[in-house]
Amino acid sequence: MYSAYFGLSENPFTLTPDPRFLFMSERHREALAHLLYGMGEKGGFVLLTGEVGTGKTTLCRSVLEQVPGDVEVALILNPKQSATELVASLCDELNIAYPEGTQSLKVLIDRLNHHLLKIHSSGRRTVLIIDEAQNLSVDVLEQIRLLTNLETPTRKLLQILLIGQPELQSMMAEPELRQLGQRITARYHLTPLLLPETLSYIQHRLEVSGCKRQIFTRGALRRVHKLSKGVPRLINTICDRALLGAYAKRQERINRRLIRKAATEVIGKYPAGSRSKAVSWTRVAGWTTAAAAAGILAAGAYLYHGQVAWPVFSKQNRLAVPGLTGDQPEAGDPAETATPAEAAGSADAVPPGDTGDTPSGGAPESIDPFELLLAGEADRDMNSAFAMLTQCWGIRYGDLSGKTPCDRVAAAGLSCMKGSGNWTTLGHLNRPALIELVGRDGTPHPVLVKALTDDEATLVLGHRQVTLPRNRIDPLWYGDYIVLWKRPPIGSTLLKKGDRGRDVLWLRAKLDLAEGRDPGQEDQTLSPLFDEALEERVIEFQRTHFVQADGIVGEQTLIQLNEAAGDPAVPLLNRGPSESIL
């Protein structure tokens, strides 16, 4: 109805799970990586949970669009079935014939097992995806566990992805399902969007719908985030109703007042007392990275106030959304900012984490990372921090020369990669990293992360090495990091389809090594052209190693190729295989 009025080609805030509208926040990228991991050769049993409306089904649709050619997929959308009905539905999805009207679970499983063995013998894999899995009964979940027993001596015949709401995690913790819970090889909890991500999410959907101008004021966008609490489905319903209201009133732009009225119509009365007390601050000198300048922050950096999780970000690091940069907040908008120190010290502060689990083991409770910073345990000098980082590579920083630390390490054949992410990001990179921790006084401290496990991180603070639960470090860390990586002996660190030359031959040899092939067997037949077949190999490698699967070989893909080569001179962050972080 309002599309033509605003010059849109289609409804930008439709509730259907259209993958074209999928917005990949940091957490959505990680969730998608976990699902793709479950589809890969190393995948087994993957669990993805998230609150209602956070985008789980849309991610599922996106995965279905990226199914490799050697994978057969069965998708169950209605899990409210008996164990027999579920197995029958699985057979139907895989086009497995069985006697009409049979109620014999044995007959169904025998037919299923025969089919899975046939698929396996042809070099293919079978994946079962169950959406809304929180609706599965205990009996059906037990049957799913039994399906994982269908295997050969070397691999499972059926890989399973369960997608559901948070209560699915609680179900898995029940004593009668402990055997099933122990078989989960990777699990991830999808959380709502942060404020900067909400702005980008709305802009993304408008652009996909052909929007040529800025429709929402900055204050309106902030109000959408506050009322929706970052839940994509609520963002869609509020924005859709606001566009309809603006159309009815012949308004050209949508302001905070219109958003408030729209939210009242779709989610009920505006919650009393939701105007939290403004907490403003000015961040002192810190690192300048492209990600930080865009306001993209680590997952888990929240200030909890009541039931609203406010993202931690500085006014200087305001999100650069086209048409919004430089806009001033509208009068009356609360300042939704806080330092990590304020967030952690607040009476309402809750240490963030993927699932809210209490870390087991780790450092004694008496160790307070804030106190370590205040006691001067962490150096404030970047050169000292780089000296510790290069020591991990067996290099004496004092012997290097250059204007900046990154210039100096370049002399030793290393390159700096700066970014913004979270613990999962560092785990995937699997290299010792410098992260910036901010003390209560706002002073930044570059700190070396030397080792990483599922729950803990080992930090080097000055001359002291401590191991702390990761969620106790989160309130001090904005997500900025620096890792070093060994630059390969090629002319460019960006290779893509259409390139030609020795760099492409090097890439082919590295992929052969990563795939377990002998690169020396086909020297005479290697093509120097980056063709479509090579692009497909790169995409498959990227999917396996949790890199954006775009077929373009950049820094992160090169880092993973280095690790796949097994160079003993490369220091690793994780204490075990890279998969162990999942």
* Start-to-end C-alpha separation, the chain: 45
Q: Does 540 fall in a domain?
A: yes
pLDDT digits (tens, 9 = 90+) for 449-501: 999 987 888 998 767 788 888 877 877 787 788 999 887 778 777 888 888 88
Beta strands (DSSP E) in 182-223 are: 186-190
- Of 73 and 353, the one with more pLDDT: 73
Q: Does 237 fall in a domain?
A: no
Q: pLDDT at position 305, please?
A: 29
Q: Does 12 fall in a domain?
A: no
Place of tokens 């980056």: 530
Q: Does 239 fall in a domain?
A: no
pLDDT digits (tens, 9 = 90+) for 98-138: 988 888 999 999 999 999 999 888 888 899 999 988 998 88
Q: pLDDT at position 346, please?
A: 36
Q: Per mean pLDDT, which of 94-98, 357-361, 413-417 is the most reliable?
A: 94-98
Residues 546 and 427 in one domain: no
**In contact, 449 and 457? CB cutoff 8 Å:** yes
Residues 445 and 524 in one domain: no
Res. 281: pLDDT tops 50: no
Q: Measured between alpha carbons, how far is residue 173 from residues 103, 129, 543 in Å? A: 30, 21, 30
Res. 546: pLDDT tops 60: yes
Place of tokens 């959408």: 224
List the CATH number of the domain containing 403: 3.90.70.10
pLDDT digits (tens, 9 = 90+) for 163-184: 998 888 878 877 788 778 778 8
Residues 457 and 525 in one domain: no
Residues 507 and 408 in one domain: no
End-of-domain residue from the set 190, 223, 254: 190
Q: pLDDT at position 220, please?
A: 92
Residues 52 and 171 in one domain: yes
**DSSP assignment of 37-68, as one string?**
HHHSTT--EEEEEE-TTSSHHHHHHHHHTT--
Residues 52 and 156 in one domain: yes
Compute the distance between CA of residue 250 and CA of residue 264 in angstroms, rounded to an integer: 20
pLDDT digits (tens, 9 = 90+) for 487-515: 777 877 788 888 888 888 888 888 888 77
Question: What is the number of structural domains in the chain?
Answer: 3
Q: Does 379 fall in a domain?
A: yes
Residues 136 and 95 in one domain: yes
- Which residue type does 356 have? G
Of 208, 129, 193, 120, nearest to 161 by C-alpha is 129
Compute the distance between CA of residue 568 and CA of residue 563 in angstroms, rounded to an integer: 9
Place of tokens 């669009």: 65
Residues 405 and 542 in one domain: no
Q: Does 377 fall in a domain?
A: yes
Residues 521 and 439 in one domain: no
Q: pLDDT at position 522, please?
A: 46
Q: Tokens representing 32?
A: 């998608």
**DSSP assignment of 228-248, as one string?**
HTT-HHHHHHHHHHHHHHHHH
pLDDT digits (tens, 9 = 90+) for 179-230: 787 788 888 888 888 888 899 899 888 988 888 778 899 899 999 999 998 8
- What's the pLDDT band for 272 if we cut at 50, 70, 90? very low
**In contact, 201 and 25? CB cutoff 8 Å:** yes
Q: pLDDT at position 566, please?
A: 66
- Read off the pTM: 0.47
For residues 316-328, give the mean pLDDT: 33
End-of-domain residue from the set 190, 220, 247: 190
pLDDT digits (tens, 9 = 90+) for 288-316: 333 333 333 333 333 322 223 333 333 33
pLDDT digits (tens, 9 = 90+) for 355-405: 333 333 443 445 565 566 555 555 567 888 899 999 999 899 988 888 888
Beta strands (DSSP E) in 361-426 are: 414-420
Q: Does 318 fall in a domain?
A: no
Radius of gyration of the chain (CA): 25
List the CATH number of the domain containing 119: 3.40.50.300
Q: Measured between alpha carbons, how far is residue 355 from residues 64, 166, 296, 422 in Å? A: 26, 9, 21, 15
Which residue segment(s) compose the domain that 380 sits in? 369-486
End-of-domain residue from the set 190, 220, 242: 190
For residues 81-110, give the mean pLDDT: 90
**For residue 66, how many other CB atoms are within 10 A of its CB?**
15
Res. 557: pLDDT tops 80: yes
Backbone angles phi, psi at 100, to 5 degrees: -60, 135
Backbone angles phi, psi at 524, to 5 degrees: -75, -15
Residues 65 and 110 in one domain: yes
List the CATH number of the domain containing 522: 1.10.101
Residues 40 and 136 in one domain: yes
- What's the pLDDT band for 237 if we cut at 50, 70, 90? very high
Compute the distance between CA of residue 421 and CA of residue 430 in angstroms, rounded to an integer: 13
Q: pLDDT at position 202, please?
A: 92
Q: pLDDT at position 4, please?
A: 80
Q: pLDDT at position 497, please?
A: 87
Q: Does 195 fall in a domain?
A: no
Residues 530 and 389 in one domain: no
Q: pLDDT at position 373, please?
A: 59
Q: Kindly provide the b/e burial profile for residues 328-356, where b requires at least 16 CB atoms within 10 angstroms of the residue's own CB.
A: eeeeebbebbbbbbbbbeeeebebbbbee
Q: pLDDT at position 334, please?
A: 39
DSSP 151: B
- Of 284 and 110, the one with more pLDDT: 110
Q: pLDDT at position 477, please?
A: 80
Whole-number percent of the chain with pLDDT over 70? 75
Collapsing DSSP to helix, strand or coil, 304 comes out as: strand
Q: pLDDT at position 437, please?
A: 83
**DSSP assignment of 493-513, as one string?**
S-B-TT-BSHHHHHHHHHHHH
Compute the distance between CA of residue 537 and CA of residue 543 in angstroms, rounded to an integer: 10
Whole-number percent of the chain with pLDDT over 90? 13
